[in-house]
Amino acid sequence: MKKRKLGSSGLEVSAIGLGCMGLSFGYGPAIDKREAIHLIRAAFELGVNFFDSAEAYGPFVNEELLGEAVAPFRDQVIMATKFGFEGGFTGKGLNSSPENIKAMTDAALKRLKTDRIDLLYQHRVDPNVPMEDVAGTVKELITKGKVKYFGLSEASAESIRRAHAVQPVTALQSEYSLWWREPKKQILPLLEELGIGFVPFSPLGKGFLTGAINEKTKFDESDFRNSVPRFQEENRKANQIVVSKITEFAKQKNATPAQVALAWVLVQKPWIVPIPGTTKVNRLQENLNAETLTLSTEDLIEIENAFSSIQIQGARYPQHLQERVGR
């Protein structure tokens, strides 16, 4: 697989990474540990060297899983994780105090079975802690060798600028896909200006853009999507037009809808590295093959014309989670 550099930081990663959250958190029950380790190692064998986790995924178990899976080839991969919640629990609110960042980092190093965290993100901006203090704390951790690069997730343009002025930000992680293109307006131009890479999560629309979900789909009771307005039954039905358009185009390219969705993200900028997640090796292979799918200028115009008139139904987060975004 080809490599990409995340902005001007020099951090080079595989063009497509692996989001590990769904292996143990968010989309129903965790999969069998042996299967999860097998999938991560299969990704590595297929050329992936960029793996994304967080203390809040579980909490903690996702980092432990990733650390065990990559232990045999630790020095050949880039591991990213995140801090920012009280005790690692998303339900307990935000905590990006310097003390919590340092404690979380030390704990994550143990769970990941490593002596350094390659890319450490603030999971969500904490309005109670000045961004300068957050960036300064991570800068201290970088100086000590515990962290190599600093990232932000779902941060506003103002927060990105403030953090970057204290400690250069290597990557911003936020949602970006054919059905959530908001970052293109303000965030992508800012990242290009500052030389920051972009790591889109949910580039497949939390599974919706694959075509495997429709209005009749029943999610496990612990699946996060049950609370997402965009995934309410009536909205899934209305949003099927998105999948129909992608499927129609994919047939022209002898590709799958997922591959078209990922290829579209990849072609936007050379410093964009999507991190689709999956629990199945065949889906993993399908996703990674998107890197070889070429979209021409004419293709992109056709896609833009098809999607510009579509009004996506439903918010991408329930209100209490939306309040944490864009700070």
Can you tell me the mean pLDDT for 284-295? 98
Instruction: Assign 142 a pLDDT band (cuts: 50, 70, 90).
Output: very high
- Residue 296's SS3 state is coil
Contacts of 202 (CB under 8 A, 6+ apart): 175, 176, 177, 180
Listed by start position, the domains of the chain span 3-322
Q: What H or E segment, with its residue span, contains residue 121?
A: strand 117-122
> What's the mean per-residue pLDDT of the chain?
97
Q: Mind listing the pLDDT tens digit for each residue in 56-87?
A: 999 999 999 999 999 999 999 999 999 999 99
Query: For residues 228 and 314, what is the distance between their CA atoms, to the nearest angstrom?
Result: 8
* Annotated catalytic residue 57: yes
- Which of 57, 121, 149, 176 is labelled catalytic? 57
Q: How far apart are CA 226 and CA 272, in angstroms?
A: 29
Q: Residue type for 138, please? A: V
Q: Give the pLDDT of residue 261.
A: 98
Residue of 80, 125, 85 whose CA lies nearest to 133: 125
Whole-number pLDDT of residue 247: 97
pLDDT digits (tens, 9 = 90+) for 150-206: 999 999 999 999 999 999 999 999 999 999 999 999 999 999 999 999 999 999 999
The percent of residues in the chain predicted with pLDDT above 90, rounded, is: 99
User: Whole-model pTM?
Assistant: 0.98
Distance CA 137, CA 57 (A): 23
Give tens-digit pLDDT for 237-256.
999 999 999 999 999 999 99
**Superfamily, domain 3-322:** NADP-dependent oxidoreductase domain (3.20.20.100)
pLDDT at 87: 95
How would residue 121 be classed by pLDDT, with cut points 50, 70 and 90?
Answer: very high
Q: What is the DSSP letter of 75?
A: G
Ramachandran bin of 295, using left for φ above 0, alpha for ψ from -120 to 50, beta for the remaining angles: beta
Average of pLDDT values for 25-54?
Answer: 97
Residue 50 forms beta bridges with which residues? 78
Decide: 325 and 298 in contact? Cβ < 8 Å. Answer: no
Name which of 9, 5, 327, 326 is nearest 168 in CA terms: 9
> Are the CB atoms for 9 and 267 separated by under 8 Å?
no
Alpha helices in 215-318 (DSSP H): 233-238, 240-252, 257-268, 281-288, 297-307
